[in-house]
């Protein structure tokens, strides 16, 4: 198990002071309105701020903010494959890396990648791969690096959206954009685009139909490229949840398109009318 030998972290048994504070009722019962004023049981996603081209040294980059969630993505490539034995003659390779900044979650994380980071990286790669025209970049590799600056819920969905915007900003050929949307099923009702407390409140409280779902969707081709779910939900709830997430992706689509058009106009301004 790799350990961090460069930083003095304090004794291993140190715990966060939050554990010892008397917590107010953490459980958000399913009939109460959501803390930030959005509606339950409706496709009410948080307003999103997106900007492309913020990192000048990367080929393409994108930054997305949804509520307090902040995600930054950089794309490098296509460039020569580093490990020669993995060079694929017919198509390119897409490598993804998703990292959480240590200050991003309420509990301080470590710089060494945990299994959760690797899990998200794999999910990100599986969602982006069907959309990128890898056969146009033989013997090359495209690197997508996602950095989560603040985790306020629904992180995988926004990382997927951010990564596909960065790929588009880098000029990588794609069949379609990949948008992500997530949902939290809480007893009989659901909340779309959950915040961090909404995602983690299910631990206290029992009952069935508590689970989360993240969907990666290609809007123009109407195809689902990634699906991740945990907790337990009935089959009908799950299928209804997927449809709800798809609707959420469609709501996000015009905003992303406008941001990309703005970025293209900035990079290559249209010729002046003579």
Partner 1 sequence: MATVQVSEAEKVYILHGIRDDLRVDGRGCEDYRHMEVETDVVSNTDGSAKVTLGHTAVLVGVKAEIGKPKPMIPNEGYLEFFVDCSANATPEFEGRGGEELGTELSNTLYKVFNNQHSLDLRSLCISPGEHCWVLYVDVLVSSSLQGHLSIT
Give the shortest CB-210-to-partner 1 separation in angstroms: 7
Helix (H) or strand (E) holding 199: helix 196-200
| Residue 119 binds partner 1, judged by CB under 8 A | yes
Check binding of 115 to partner 1 (CB under 8 A): yes
The piece of 49-57, 85-93, 189-197, 223-231 that touches partner 1 (CB under 8 A) is 223-231
Beta strands 60-66 and 69-80 are: antiparallel
According to CB under 8 A, which one of 3, 22, 56, 206 is a site residue for partner 1? 206
The whole-angstrom separation of Cα 164 and Cα 162 is 6
Q: Minimal distance in Å, beta carbon 122 to partner 1?
A: 6
> Is residue 211 at the binding interface for partner 1, with CB under 8 A as the rule?
yes
Smaller CB distance to partner 1: residue 229 or 250? Answer: 229
3-class SS letters over 120-189: HHHHHHHHHHHHECHHHCCCEEEEEEEEEEECCCCHHHHHHHHHHHHHHHCCCCECCCCEEEEEEEECCE
Position 197 contacts partner 1 (CB under 8 A): no
**Per-residue mark of binding to partner 1, 2-21 (x: CB under 8 A):** -------------x---x--
**Residues in region 255-274 near partner 1 by CB under 8 A:** none
75 phi and psi, to 5 degrees? -120, 130
Q: Looking up tokens 């990079």, which residue turns up?
A: 267
Interaction site with partner 1 (CB under 8 A): 15, 19, 115-116, 118-119, 122, 203, 206-208, 210-211, 229-232
């Amino acid at each position: 198990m790799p350990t961090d030998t460069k930083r003095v972290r304090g004794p291993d048994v140190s715990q966060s002071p939050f554990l010892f504070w008397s917590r107010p009722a953490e459980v958000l019962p399913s009939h109460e309105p959501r803390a930030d004023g959005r509606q339950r049981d409706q496709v009410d996603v948080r307003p999103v701020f997106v900007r492309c081209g913020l990192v000048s040294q990367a080929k393409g980059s994108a930054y997305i903010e949804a509520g307090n969630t902040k995600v930054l993505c950089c794309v490098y490539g296509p460039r020569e494959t580093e490990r020669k034995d993995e060079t694929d003659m017919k198509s390119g390779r897409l490598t993804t890396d998703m990292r959480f900044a240590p200050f991003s979650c309420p509990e301080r994380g470590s710089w060494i990648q945990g299994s959760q980071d690797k899990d998200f990286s794999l999910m990100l790669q599986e969602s982006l791969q069907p959309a990128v025209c890898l056969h146009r970049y033989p013997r090359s590799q495209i690197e997508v690096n996602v950095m989560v600056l603040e985790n306020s819920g629904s992180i995988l969905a926004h990382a997927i959206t951010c990564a596909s915007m960065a790929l588009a900003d880098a000029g990588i050929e794609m069949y379609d954009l990949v948008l992500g949307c997530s949902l939290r099923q809480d007893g009989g009702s659901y909340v779309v685009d959950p915040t961090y407390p909404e995602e983690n409140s299910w631990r206290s409280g029992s009952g069935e139909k508590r689970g989360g779902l993240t969907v990666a969707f290609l809007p123009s081709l109407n195809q689902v490229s990634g699906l991740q779910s945990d907790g337990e939900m009935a089959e009908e709830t799950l299928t209804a949840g997927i449809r709800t997430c798809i609707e959420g992706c469609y709501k996000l689509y015009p905003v992303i398109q406008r941001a990309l058009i703005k970025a293209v106009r900035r990079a290559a301004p249209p010729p002046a009318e003579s």
